[in-house]
Amino acid sequence: MSYQVLARKWRPRSFTEMVGQEHVVRALVNALDNERLHHAYLFTGTRGVGKTTVARIFAKALNCERGVSSTPCGECSSCRELDEGRFVDLIEVDAASRTKVEDTRDLLEYVQYAPTRGRYKVYLIDEVHMLSKHSFNALLKTLEEPPPHIKFLLATTDPQRLPVTILSRCLQFNLRHLPEDVIARHLARVLEQEAIEAEAPALAHIASAADGSVRDALSLLDQAIAYGGGRVAEAEVSAMLGTIDRAHVYDLLDALAAGDGAALLDGVRRAAEYTVEFDALLAELISALQRIAVAQLVPQAAKTQESDAARIAVLASTLAREDVQLYYQIALIGRRDLPYSPDARTGVEMVLLRMLAFRPLNPALQNTPPGARPAGDSAPSSPSTTARSTAATKSAAPASSPSAPAPVSSSPAPSRAAPAQERRMSPSSQHSLAQPASSASAPVVPSPATSATAPSPAPVAANEWEALLAGIDVQGLGRELAVNCILLERNERRLRLQLDRTHAHLHSRATEERLQHAVRAYLGADIMLEVVVGEVAFGATPATRRVQQDEERRQSAIAALEADDEVQALKDMFDARIIAETAHPIE
């Protein structure tokens, strides 16, 4: 017996065998079981998602000799003839090859006659959008008022080309693209029945290449079995499809995380030795960055069952969230502009170097050679630091009043990071600062012998900086900069602030001068303001302290609700619960 391709051999013959499309199957099953049958159905969707298959199963359910049911027996003569494609009362028409109005009239000439073998005469018109305007007009009247023994099943990949008069007379069902994991599981079941060995990553590659089409996936699986000599291996499938080895992509991301430009270019060179398509390399890079972003922001939605999930998890913990978003956007735009580059390799190299050049770094280190930077200063933010940054940004509101309880002061930054923290970030910081000693605490004056490599002085009491902020009239970026700083030093000549490293992007010369002008106006003195960047403990800046206070108030509100007698009575009476996420204190 001749070989039958997998796409035909494993074509579903009942609704229970359908892969995906539960929304369509459920509607048809209910209609059949309750005998609420329409005279015309329209199935839409891209190639290979099951439009014609669903129509044939529906025709079999209508004409099974055991009665109209969503579960045709598959054994009677009508079911067997339908499965074999020789049922006389199922008239299948390829509209792409019969577009003339004469063809449609010939087709409809025998509509008024009763079915020969079955219960219904079923017209299955595939690619119905290919009919001409006159053909649609000829079909319209019959479609509107067909004889009771006629059912029309229309299928199309382009429903927009159908006249609205046709659409309004049909029940429409849109068959969707199938997810890759659904297709991969179906391929695994097929190979299990065929007793063919396969590797899970290989099936994932095929499912991705199928682009939501089960038929395309089975055709590619046939090709992979032939290419692999009876087995489906990841390396052979990648070679057959011309896909990119993801190891190249992860090597590039590792180099980006380390800020190593030489490793980036070497990674592109090694990828070129494998004759990869550079457009496909960028596409895989974009896909990997998307998975990393999901792992960082919505970890419960990450695909942990994939073979490279561990590598994605490591990169998610290594790369800063804002860096991932920036890399994604640069790669997306770079892929769009790739045809304009002198050659594809040059274009990809420039995309990667652009990621490296525009990665947010400590401004104090931008002109420092990589070899001269202190250890850890070029490393991306840790997840906890990123979370702290996100929380602080959300609370960029005026600082709390001086009467608020003062939190514990942050400890000085580690001495190894002191050179970066002590470096001045603005030309305006080349002068000394003047400030009248108006606070109750003694000013902290650095020793003249303090060198650039000495540790930063301990910050002034946090409530003193909050007291100043309460009176300073500055908004916008100036306020954002101020609430994310701690007061390191205040004396008669200057005011020295330390900006949290995770908010270094807020600093600019214009913003610093705006804040300095507001401080001078409030204090009535011509003092100088200096801003340096360094590590600041969470809860030390007014912004993060406000976040802590808001969370404490929210927890107090939740505790008050839990202790309320009326709330407890409602919980007992209605078996209710308090949704903690929606509880907020009244301002």
Q: What backbone phi and psi angles, to 5 degrees, belong to 313?
A: -60, -40
298: tokens are 């919505």
- Percent of the chain with pLDDT strictly greater than 90: 35
Mean pLDDT is lowest, of 67-71, 212-216, 289-293, 435-439, for 435-439
Q: How sure is the predictor about 389, in pLDDT bands with cuts at 50, 70 and 90? A: very low
**350 C-beta neighbours (distance < 10 Å), count:** 17
In the sheet where 528-534 sits, what is the strand order? Answer: 485-490, 494-500, 528-534
Which one has a higher pLDDT value, 166 or 583?
166
Split into its structural domains, the chain has a count of 5
Q: How sure is the predictor about 318, in pLDDT bands with cuts at 50, 70 and 90? A: confident
Q: What is the mean pLDDT of residues 339-349?
A: 93
Query: In the predicted model, is pLDDT for residue 431 greater than 80?
Result: no
- Least Cα distance to 139 among 127, 156, 125, 159 occurs for 125
Query: In the predicted model, is pLDDT for residue 524 greater than 70?
Result: yes
Q: What is the mean pLDDT of residues 494-511?
A: 86
What SS3 state is found at 123? Answer: strand
* CB contact set of 296 (below 8 Å; sequence gap of 6+): 316, 319, 321, 324, 383, 386
The CATH number given to whatever domain includes residue 202 is: 1.10.8.60
- What HEC string does 519-578 produce? HHHHHCCCCEEEEEEECCCCCCCHHHHHHHHHHHHHHHHHHHHHHCHHHHHHHHHHCCCC
346: tokens are 């040059």
Query: In the predicted model, is pLDDT for residue 311 greater than 50?
Result: yes
What SS3 state is found at 126? Answer: strand
Residue 45 identity: G
Look at residue 121 in the predicted model and tell me its pLDDT.
93
Looking only at Cα atoms, what is the longest distance across the chain? 109
Query: In the predicted model, is pLDDT for residue 428 greater than 80?
Result: no
Q: What is the mean pLDDT of residues 576-580?
A: 82
438: tokens are 């108006």
Look at residue 38 in the predicted model and tell me its pLDDT.
93
Residue range(s) defining the domain that contains residue 476: 403-444+451-540
Do the domain assignments include residue 388?
no
Which one has a higher pLDDT value, 98 or 293?
293
Do the domain assignments include residue 531?
yes
Q: What is the mean pLDDT of residues 375-392?
A: 40
Contact predicate 553/585, CB 8 Å: yes
Query: In the predicted model, is pLDDT for residue 437 greater than 80?
Result: no
Q: What is the mean pLDDT of residues 183-197?
A: 92
Mean pLDDT is lowest, of 127-141, 265-279, 418-432, for 418-432
Q: Is 23 in the same domain as 167?
A: yes
Query: In the predicted model, is pLDDT for residue 477 greater than 70?
Result: yes
Query: In the predicted model, is pLDDT for residue 472 greater than 50?
Result: yes
Q: Is 342 in the same domain as 433?
A: no
Q: Is 148 in the same domain as 257?
A: no
Q: How sure is the predictor about 264, in pLDDT bands with cuts at 50, 70 and 90? A: very high
28: tokens are 């048809």
Distances, alpha carbon 79 to alpha carbons 28, 86, 119, 122, 502, in Å: 18, 10, 12, 14, 68
Query: In the predicted model, is pLDDT for residue 64 greater than 80?
Result: yes
Residue 558 CA to residue 577 CA, distance in Å, equals: 12
Q: What is the mean pLDDT of residues 335-346?
A: 92
Look at residue 376 in the predicted model and tell me its pLDDT.
37
Exposure letters 414-451 (e unless 16+ CB within 10 A, then b) = eeebbbbbbbebbeebeeebbbeeebeeeeeeeeeeee
Query: In the predicted model, is pLDDT for residue 534 greater than 70?
Result: yes
Q: Is 105 in the same domain as 141?
A: yes
The CATH number given to whatever domain includes residue 347 is: 1.20.272.10
Contact predicate 175/49, CB 8 Å: yes
Query: In the predicted model, is pLDDT for residue 544 greater than 50?
Result: yes
**109 C-beta neighbours (distance < 10 Å), count:** 9
526 burial via Cβ count (<10 Å: 0-12, 13-18, 19+): exposed
Across the strands, what pairs with 174? 44
Please tell me which of 109-113, 129-133, 373-377, 540-544 the model is most confident about, judged by mean pLDDT: 129-133
Query: In the predicted model, is pLDDT for residue 349 greater than 90?
Result: yes
Do the domain assignments include residue 528?
yes
Residue 106 CA to residue 253 CA, distance in Å, equals: 63
Look at residue 582 in the predicted model and tell me its pLDDT.
77
482: tokens are 């101020």
Contact predicate 494/520, CB 8 Å: no
Distances, alpha carbon 220 to alpha carbons 51, 183, 240, 284, 353, in Å: 20, 12, 9, 20, 36
Query: In the predicted model, is pLDDT for residue 350 greater than 90?
Result: yes
- Least Cα distance to 152 among 270, 43, 292 occurs for 43
Q: Is 229 in the same domain as 134?
A: no
Query: In the predicted model, is pLDDT for residue 326 greater than 90?
Result: yes
The CATH number given to whatever domain includes residue 29 is: 3.40.50.300
Centroid of chain to Cα 519: 43
Q: Is 415 in the same domain as 525?
A: yes
pLDDT in tens, 120-130: 999 999 999 99
Q: Is 481 in the same domain as 571?
A: no
* CB contact set of 497 (below 8 Å; sequence gap of 6+): 482, 485, 486, 487, 488, 529, 530, 531, 532
Domain end (from 219, 241, 263): 241
Q: What is the mean pLDDT of residues 170-185?
A: 92
Q: What is the mean pLDDT of residues 225-242?
A: 87
**299 C-beta neighbours (distance < 10 Å), count:** 11
The CATH number given to whatever domain includes residue 523 is: 3.30.300
Q: Is 416 in the same domain as 440?
A: yes
Domain end (from 290, 324, 357): 357
- What HEC string does 171-199 produce? EEEECCCCCHHHHHHHHHHHHHHHCCCEC
Residue 482 identity: A
Look at residue 277 in the predicted model and tell me its pLDDT.
85
Do the domain assignments include residue 332?
yes
Q: Is 57 in the same domain as 10?
A: yes
Q: Is 270 in the same domain as 336?
A: yes
Q: What is the mean pLDDT of residues 581-587?
A: 71
359: tokens are 């990665």
Q: Is 335 in the same domain as 459?
A: no
Which one has a higher pLDDT value, 395 or 173?
173
- Least Cα distance to 388 among 540, 209, 256 occurs for 540
In terms of pTM, does the model score above 0.75?
Answer: no
Contact predicate 553/560, CB 8 Å: no
Q: How sure is the predictor about 76, in pLDDT bands with cuts at 50, 70 and 90? A: very high
Q: What backbone phi and psi angles, to 5 degrees, belong to 182?
A: -65, -45
* CB contact set of 125 (below 8 Å; sequence gap of 6+): 93, 95, 131, 152, 153, 154, 155
Q: Is 562 in the same domain as 504?
A: no
Q: How sure is the predictor about 504, in pLDDT bands with cuts at 50, 70 and 90? A: confident
Look at residue 462 in the predicted model and tell me its pLDDT.
57
Mean pLDDT is lowest, of 28-32, 163-167, 228-232, 438-442, for 438-442
Query: In the predicted model, is pLDDT for residue 34 greater than 70?
Result: yes
**Mind giving me the DSSP string for 30-58?**
HHHHTT---SEEEEE-STTSSHHHHHHHH
Do the domain assignments include residue 370?
no
Angle at 231 between CA 226 and CA 232, to 5 degrees: 90
Average pLDDT of the chain to the nearest whole number: 80
* CB contact set of 8 (below 8 Å; sequence gap of 6+): none
Do the domain assignments include residue 373?
no
Do the domain assignments include residue 391?
no
Do the domain assignments include residue 263?
yes
Domain end (from 241, 258, 276): 241
Look at residue 104 in the predicted model and tell me its pLDDT.
86
